Structures are given as C-alpha cells and as structure tokens.
Structure 1
Amino acid sequence: MNTKHKIGIGVLAMATFASACTKDFAEHNTDPEVAPTLPPEYMITTSQKAMVDRDFEWFYDNYQYLMRWMQFTVAYPDGNTAGMYGPQNVNGYYNAFYTTIGRNLVEIEKMINEMPEENRGVYRNLVAIAKVHKVFAAFRVTDVNGSIPYSEALSARENANFTPVYDNQEKLFAQFDAELKAAVADLLQPAEGQVTYKGYDIFYDGDAAKWVKAANVLRLKIAMRLIKRNPEKVAEVAAEVLASPAGLFTSNADEWKFVSGGGDKFANGGNWNAQGSASRAGKNLIDFLQDNADPRLALFFKKNEMTQANFNRLKNGGAFPPTAVYNPDQYVGVPSSPDAVNEPATRALFGTKTYGITENGQSVSVNVDTLSQFQNRLFDLNADGGAAGRYTQPMLTYAEMCFMLSELAVRGIVAENAQVWYENGIKASIAAYDAMGAAANIVDYAAVAPEAVTAYLAQPEIAFTGTQEEQLEKIGVQNFLNHFKSPWEAWGSWKRTGYPKAGGILPLEAVRIDGAVPEIPRRWELPVPHTSNMSNYTNAISEMQAGGEYGSPNQLTGRVWWDKK
C-alpha cells in the first residue's frame, strides 16, 4: 500500500464518516463527500473499508443474535436470553449502504461520466468494478430487508430526487443480474491502457481478471435465491456463467476476501470482542464437528480448561473423589435454548466452575472453564494475548461456489459432477479456515493434515451418498458450516435450503423460552424513512404484505419475497 493510498483513505474518511443515518435521503445526497480534485481511482477504498470494518455490526447483529440464532455459539456465562428474539441496534448494513458504501461507488461513475468523452474510455474497468461492489452491497441489504430504494436512491445529487421509490426484489434481482452481466462484458474487453485500482483496491489490488470471476460468482449466488421463484432464471444464469470466457473461481486464491495487514491493528478489541455475547460453543454444532472428526473443529473452537494437569490438581485437592477418572474430551458445548440454563439436566453445564480445594495446607478456590470458547482471534486480534496476526473476512468464497454448483447438479439444473464439486467445496472450506487460523495466530494452531481431510470425506454423514434429499442436506450443512465466519451468510443459507434442520445430520435444536418454542427470525425490520418518503415506504410494505408471507412490519419471522415457503 503506497503513501498516496494512505492519504486517500484519510481524505475520504474525514468526509465520509461524518455521515451517520440514512433515513433522510436529502441530507445524505447533498452533503459534500469527496474533495473535488480527488481522482476516481482513489474513491474505492472508503467503500471497501466500510464493507469490512464493521465492529458495531459484529457485536450486535452477529454476536448478540445471528451466531446464537444459528446455534454456532451461546452467551456466557448465563446462557442465551429471550431478548435475542427482539433485536436492537441491528441492520446497520442498511444505513452503511446509503452512506459510506453506495454513494462513493455511484460517485465514481458520475465523475467519469462528467469527463470529456475522449477521456472516459480508460476508466471502463473502474466503473465496472464499482458496479460489482454496489450490487454486492445492495444484495446484502435487500436479502434481509426486502424492498429497498435502489434504482433512484443513489443519484439524488444529480436529479434532486429525495423521495426514491422502493424497488421490490423481483425487480432488484433482475437489475442486479443485468448490471453484473454488463460489468462482466466490460471487464472482458482488452485491458490495455485502462486506469486501475492498483494500490487502492484492498481486495484484488485492481486485478480485473479476478473481479470478472467474482462478478460471475456473484451472479450465480444471487440467482440461487430464485430457486423457489424462478428456477428457469437460475438455469439461465448458471449456463451463462459456466460458459463465460471469464470463468469462475478455480481455487481459494481467486475468492473475494479481505485480509488485514500484519500491524495495522484491524479488528482489535472494542466491539470486535464478543464480551460474553456469543463465546461458548453450541452443543449440537461442536458435537457434530467432533463426532465426524471435522478438521475445522480446532479452527472454530478452543479446548476447555479441564486439562489433565488441572484435573489432577483438583482431584489431589479433594474437589473430586479418589475414584474420579479424567475425561479427555475438552470440546464441550451447551444448549442454545434460553430455558436450558434453568433446567436441572443442563444447568450445571453453564458458567465457569469454581472448585474449593486444599493445597499446601491452605484452602484455595480454583476457577476452571469447562466449556469450549470459539477461537476468539478469528474475530478479535486483541484476544488471547493480543499477539501479532491477520484478520480475514470472506466475501465470496470458492467453497460456496462449489456447493452451489453441486446443489445445481443434484437438482438437474446443470450437467456437472455433483460429488466432485461437493468434495472440492469441503476441501476448500477446510483449507480456507486453516489459512485463517494460521494468519490470526489462533490458540494451539496446528496445520490440518491431508489425511484428516480424506478421513473426513469418508465419514457416513459426510460422504456424498444417499437419496437426492440426503445429498441436498449434506451440501446445505457444509455450506452452512463454511459460513461460520460470515454469520449473515449462514442465516441466508439456512433460510434458502432449510439446513440444518430439526432431526437432521446436524440437528437444529428446538429453542425454548419459558416452555414455548419460538420461530427463528427470517428478516430484519425495514427501517422507517424520513417523513417525506413515507408514502413510498408504505407502498413497499403493502406490496410485500400482499404476497401473504411478509407479515407486519416488525414481524421478524415474516419472509421477504425470495424466501418463499
């Protein structure tokens, strides 16, 4: 990263981060955002930073809710609470799209369009790459909100339209696909003479060949949301991306991800710290990983503190009877149900255990955590001693692409080898988490041995065997696991595929609150706009409700358009 890049980030940050809430489109589309002489290639970095530097969202959306809803983790030390079904301070990506992400991306295109015609051609790739970012971010927003302002929302400074319409998902997905298809076409043209984002692009360093692959994979990902609504469109997009001369990802080296620098203090303390909100392993997940010898077990979770040495100390001090035998299983999770902390059969699992022992003639209290924590350093580089490390945030992964193609093959939509893509996806996911663990310097990191991967693929609940439904479940579970580091994607995968499920190979626990079993939420509440745009908002809510599955505006168990029963 060169000096100009760092200066560019500073200039943009001072202007962009002054914005806060997106509810008033007039305010946020008239404030000056960038220096008038700033070259377009400088402007990508702030949008990219806003896509990954999201500690507030990690704390509230992910630690507080999604990782618990998806039963990855459980709050500590008091277990999950009923409050996880009434989210507060969530859905921050919605606001970010209209302030720090989307506006700069459309500004890039606007600045280039205002150049003399003879100067625009060299910026073709810049515009295309900015569009890929814009679609990616807008897709994340609509995926959990439903109808959103898009077609009219980001150009108010040009046309003074401060009351943008809300586009429904059927229209949005068509527009996303058209924009990505156009971006692919532009990026496939000869790159000679093109201005690049090299030095400013924190993902691919301006490599157009990588961005065009990412655009194709993103087309496929968005199309997969249409499985229940428009399978013909899914088949059309799948055929086009498979035949595209740009190609798709061919390995983890191609995938869209962010990896921090070694000494830049990214993801370091503060809201990156789960602070007990979601830090102990969910029982069903850790049992599944352990029962199947999943190589990601030690990459996702740490062993508990009941080592042989601690056991011996406690036994010798009188905390355990003389007949007690050490249990070497140090991967222990707890149920996700809020009720579990009060139920006699599971109450003793929660919290750090305090043992009174006699040691050297003195009474001593010893605390030993008998639960497995997640690998904190995957999420917060200040954790576990704050050693040097690199933070990784996947955006679009090769493993997910493999699982999508495997699923499409099982469904008969593409003529591909479902087993090969499935196994490639598992291998890619394990390799990706192995790399993440090494980069983050997680506790007790040990490189995954190739024979462990081979053995895993042969496990009965992992091997690609069974009926079509059983194969779809295995694909769905593996795709879900692959999103451990992107809980919002795990949520989306669960909603789309239905896996994991109750009674399945990775059983989804029936969560209980005061004896009742609530539904898992399926969307966020669409933010209420400024009063000047209430008419468009009301129309959007009414249109979504007309489909019969959306429910009331604050009914989080309702479904957006793509999430059809």
Structure 2
Amino acid sequence: MKFIKNKIFLLAAVGLLSSCEKQAFVDVNKNPDALSEIPPQNQFLQATVSIHSQDFEHYYDLYRRIMPWMQYNTPQTGNQGSFTLNFDNFANRYGRLYNGIGDRLYDLEQLVSKLEPEEQPRYEQMIQIARILKAYYTFYVSDIYGSIPYTEAFQGRYGGTLQPKYDTQQEIFAKLDVEIKAAITSLKATPAAPQYSLAAYDQYYRGDVQKWIKAANALRLRMALRVQKADAAAGNAIITDVLAAPAADLMSSNADAWVFIGNATFTGNAEGGNWNTEGLRAPKPMVDFMWEKGDPRIDAFFTPNQYSQANINLLIADKKLPAGTVAGRRYVGSFTSPDESRQTAVVQRYYSPKLISSNNQTVDTLSFIQPRLFNTGRADAAGNAGTGQSYLPVITYAEYCFMRAEIAAKTTGAATAKDWYEAGVRSSLDWYNEVGQKSQLTDYVATTPAEITAYLAQPGIAFDATKAIDQIASQSYLNFMKQPQEGWALYKRTGFPNETSIVPLPRVSYLNVPLVVPRRAPISLPTQTDPNYANKKAAYDAMAALPGFGELTSAAGRVWWDKP
C-alpha cells in the first residue's frame, strides 16, 4: 500500500523553514511581487529538497517499476505475470520540474533581479550553481520523456507564455550543455564582487564552488554519453572538451561526489511510509554473482536470510529440519523470471517459509533489500528507529571513473581503461562502505582493504582488456543499486548487462513468452481542450516520427538519444 502523509524535512545542516516562509512560497504562486520577501538561497534549498524528497517516485518509479525491470529486486514471491507492462503511475519526475524544482531555480534569478543593483553581482555564483542544478533535473526529465517545454518554460508569471512550445530532446541536450559550460566558465572567473555563499542552503557541497565545477563537468560527461549514441560527433566533441579541462576541474575522489545527505527522517520514519522496502526481495542473479565473487557490498545491498544457527536448532527440535543441519549461505536471491518463480518446486523450496512452533516465528529462505539503504529511519528488529544519514546520490565518483574507463576503452587504450576501471571499483566499495556505516545499515560489517584487494583479483573482476566494456558496465550496474534509474539508462545505452554479461541480466518470460524491458515513459494523448494542445500535438507528432519511438502510450519505444 502507498502512504500519503505529511512530510517533515529535518535536514542535516538546516533547520525547518518557518511557517511564515512556507506561506511566502504559497504567496509567490499567486503574486510574483511576493518573491521579494524570500531570500534567493531559500529557493535553491527548496528545489533541492523537492528533487530528493519524492517518496512517490521511490515507491512507484524505483521500487515497483525500474528495479524489477532491471532485476535489482523482486516482489515478495518473485516477479509475476507480465510485470514489464506495469507502468501505471510511472514517471513522477515530470511534474516536479515545473512545480517545485525548475520553477524555483528560475525564481532564484528573478529574486536577484529585484535586488538593488549594487547587490546583484554578489549572487553571480549562486545563479550559476542554480543553473547547473536546473540543467541536471531538466536532463533527468527529458531523459525518459523526450521533447518537453524548456526554452519558454517557467516564465508564465513573469510575462511569458502559459502555452510554452516543446523543445526536442536533441535541442534540450545541446542547450543544457551550452548552459552548463557557460556556468563553469563563470564559476572559474574571478567575481566582480564578494559572493554570497549558499553555505548551509547547499546540501551537496555547502557552497564549495570548485566542487560544483567538478560536478558540472561530470554531468556533461553523463549527458555526452547519451548524446553519443544518437550523434557520435556531437557526443565526442563534448567528451573531448570536458577531458581537456584542468585536473582541478574534474572529480578525483569520493569527496567530490555529488550526493544529497540528510538525516534519517528525510527518507522516512521508523515505519517507513513510501520509502519502505519491506517485502522487496533481493534478486537471484545479482546475489549469486556477489556471493560467488565475495563482493563486500552484499550486506550493504541485502539482508541475510533467517536461517541462523539458532533458528535452525529450533527447527531441528520441531523435526522440520534433519539433525545436524548447520547454517550455510545466508544471502539467497529471488527468481526474476515469472516462469521460474511460479514453478511448484521453486515455490515450495524458496517461497514457503517454515514456522518455529515454540515462538511462532517464520524462517524465510530468501534475502530482502537492505531496508536502511533506502529508508534510513527504518526501525530494526528490536524496534529502534534508525538515526543515521540518508544518502541520495546524483553522480558518484565511481560513476565518473566508470565513464572515464568506458571512454578510455574506446579511445586511448586498455592501460588507461584498467586504471579508471579499478578506481571505479575501489571508489564504489569505499562509498558503499561509508553509506553502510553512516546510514547504520542493519547487520552491516565494515569493508576492509584486504577484502577490496581480494575482490579486484577475482576472475571476472580482475581487468581483462578483451572484456573491458562488459566489466565496466557490469560494475556500473552494481554501483547503481542506489540509482536504479541510471542502471536502466546504462542498459539502454550500452546493452549491458544482458544474458551473457559478467553480471547477468537473465531473460525473463511469462508463459514462455519473452518479456520486453520498457525504454521510456509512456505519454498520455492530449485532449483538444488542453490549453497547450497545439504545441503538445506538434511535439508528439514529431517524436512519433522518430525511429523506434512507437505509440505514445507505450513504454517500449525509444526517445531520441536511445537510437535503435
């Protein structure tokens, strides 16, 4: 069940907004002159919160759509039926661009324009950082929708049109790259006046301009790899331009990662609400791979099953297990293909928990998603609420390393690719180790340097130039456990993981009919009573003409960058 609840956002470094400030945000929607009552940096903070507080997006888009499609989880009894056709309530991200994120970041600039002329130059860096954040979220929405309003968007209450035209995805990606590059140039320049820092209003970098430059360049790379699939020349030009930047302008460690960090209650209370992953199983393909390779992240991603030796002894006493049974492997995944999960033998062995008579406790064979990885405030078995930190990544350093590794594997050669690949694996293990400890993940054991060294030496993990792209993509896929939407994009962009890749994504079927993984958000047909009908119809007709786009209401088609 989905919960609708009043949300309280208590951020790590920022107190609650006052009731007066909240009313001011309401007033802005009615009266643009009310903007003068709000500090510009408040709009940045509010936009940031709006990006990361979307529990409906987690409940629908991630937990019950993208994660099952990409085999990051399954429901309680495995995937059932034609689950890849389940995309109702999908794509919660769209509405937030125009009501809570892009509009607020646009407002920030309008707020500054209302200040005294001598004050305005002191906000130049803040404006550029806001533009980077707005570019990121615009890209995030267009990524699965294609054409959306952008050039004429956000301007309705400032004298602009209320019926904005739609920019094509190709136009949007090009414009965003130009805007991000211009923001970087501005941030690198010596300011004309002392700058007001975002400081406590910036949950990512606390106003550190140099880190924002690094984040912006990483975002350009992420976008360029999408563009490269549809327009190799354009994508390659962006990549070349980014990699020509000074080393100081590029990510170099986990300290540079673009990550929102809030307190435990930011991602739900002890009960969890919409952040709750209860009932979501660990997937068999990923669990089997991680177990066999000794992947130190396994206890950050998943929980051990309930077959502890103590429970086994009680089941022996109940004569439900043979005498002498000992605890073995306790990370066991759920079947991802409906045709497997519904087999009688599988149901009896994996989906039929045993009951301990003495305490009425069920003993489950299968693992679940680690609850506090997504819902940090979740209570443990003793009822103690989590008090750790909520980590919500945008671009990790590991992702940056894997992007560099992929680029190197295609251009400069195996030696450079190997270095970036190994840096990516190490940084991913280190980052999830930080999350494991600071989010207080249940039963988490800290990763040691020896474990990392041993993991990198494992067959399939140790770099093999003949399998470079497969290895890089497979490790990227694992790293995206906290960002399954990016794992989905990786699959669409590279074709990895797949049935034969190092980390496998097995074929899924129902009644022996292969199921197709969705590739974009479905789009509702516009009605002629829609005030913006003409612009919508023109945009949708143009997208429908793209190769592979398919029917508007289908999720199986492709947006511009996802070229067949």
Pairwise same-fold verdict (TM > 0.5):
yes
Please report how far the alpha carbon of residue 139 of structure 1 lies from its aligned counterpart in structure 2 after TM superposition: 0.6
Question: Whole-Å Cα distance in 1 between the matches of residues 307 and 428 of structure 2?
Answer: 29
* Closer, same or farther: CA 12–507 of 1 in aligned 2, 3 Å: farther
Question: Whole-Å Cα distance in 2 between the matches of residues 166 and 414 of structure 1?
Answer: 41
Counterpart residue number, 2:473? 476
Question: Whole-Å Cα distance in 1 between the matches of residues 268 and 243 of structure 2?
Answer: 36
Please report how far the alpha carbon of residue 291 of structure 1 lies from its aligned counterpart in structure 2 after TM superposition: 0.9
Of 133-142 and 330-339, the range deviating more from structure 2: 330-339
Letter in 2 for 1:367: T
C-alpha distance after superposition, 1:420-472 (max 9, x if no partner): 110000101111111111111111121101111111111111111142xx210
Question: Whole-Å Cα distance in 2 between the matches of residues 349 and 84 of structure 1?
Answer: 25
Please report how far the alpha carbon of residue 545 of structure 1 lies from its aligned counterpart in structure 2 after TM superposition: 1.6
CA contact (8 A) 1:376 1:383 kept: no
* Closer, same or farther: CA 244–10 of 1 in aligned 2, 3 Å: farther
Do structure 1's residue 436 and structure 2's residue 441 form an aligned pair? no
Q: How does 1:102-121 map to 2 (within 5 A)?
A: 102-121=102-121
Counterpart residue number, 1:382? 378
SS of residue in 2 equivalent to 1:476: helix
Q: Runs of 4+ in structure 1 displaced over 6 angstroms?
A: 1-4, 413-416
C-alpha distance after superposition, 1:79-120 (max 9, x if no partner): 445355221222111001110001110111122234454432
Q: How does 1:153-552 map to 2 (within 5 A)?
A: 153-191=153-191, 193-245=194-246, 247-261=249-263, 264=265, 266-268=267-269, 269-276=272-279, 279-322=280-323, 325-351=325-351, 353-355=353-355, 365-380=360-375, 381-384=377-380, 385=383, 386-412=385-411, 417-467=416-466, 470-526=467-523, 531-552=530-551
* Closer, same or farther: CA 142–413 of 1 in aligned 2, 3 Å: farther
Question: Whole-Å Cα distance in 2 between the matches of residues 523 and 3 of structure 1?
Answer: 34
Of 82-91 and 294-303, the range deviating more from structure 2: 82-91
Please report how far the alpha carbon of residue 272 of structure 1 lies from its aligned counterpart in structure 2 after TM superposition: 0.7
* Closer, same or farther: CA 230–85 of 1 in aligned 2, 3 Å: same
Normalising to structure 1: TM-score of the pair? 0.91
Counterpart residue number, 1:22? none
Question: Whole-Å Cα distance in 1 between the matches of residues 186 and 116 of structure 2?
Answer: 20
Letter in 2 for 1:221: R
Question: Whole-Å Cα distance in 1 between the matches of residues 139 and 506 of structure 2?
Answer: 29
C-alpha distance after superposition, 1:56-80 (max 9, x if no partner): 1111111111111110111014644
Please report how far the alpha carbon of residue 366 of structure 1 lies from its aligned counterpart in structure 2 after TM superposition: 4.3
* Closer, same or farther: CA 12–286 of 1 in aligned 2, 3 Å: farther
* Closer, same or farther: CA 534–472 of 1 in aligned 2, 3 Å: same
* Closer, same or farther: CA 410–78 of 1 in aligned 2, 3 Å: closer
Which structure 1 segments of 5+ residues have no match? 20-27
Please report how far the alpha carbon of residue 350 of structure 1 lies from its aligned counterpart in structure 2 after TM superposition: 4.2
SS of residue in 2 equivalent to 1:182: helix
Please report how far the alpha carbon of residue 240 of structure 1 lies from its aligned counterpart in structure 2 after TM superposition: 2.1
SS of residue in 2 equivalent to 1:395: strand
* Closer, same or farther: CA 352–125 of 1 in aligned 2, 3 Å: farther
* Closer, same or farther: CA 501–423 of 1 in aligned 2, 3 Å: same
Letter in 2 for 1:392: Y
Question: Whole-Å Cα distance in 2 between the matches of residues 270 and 396 of structure 1?
Answer: 26
RMSD of aligned alpha carbons? 2.5
Question: Whole-Å Cα distance in 1 between the matches of residues 96 and 531 of structure 2?
Answer: 20
Give the total of aligned pairs: 545
Normalising to structure 2: TM-score of the pair? 0.91
Counterpart residue number, 2:4? none
Of 437-446 and 31-40, the range deviating more from structure 2: 31-40
Which structure 2 segments of 5+ residues have no match? 1-9
Letter in 2 for 1:258: F
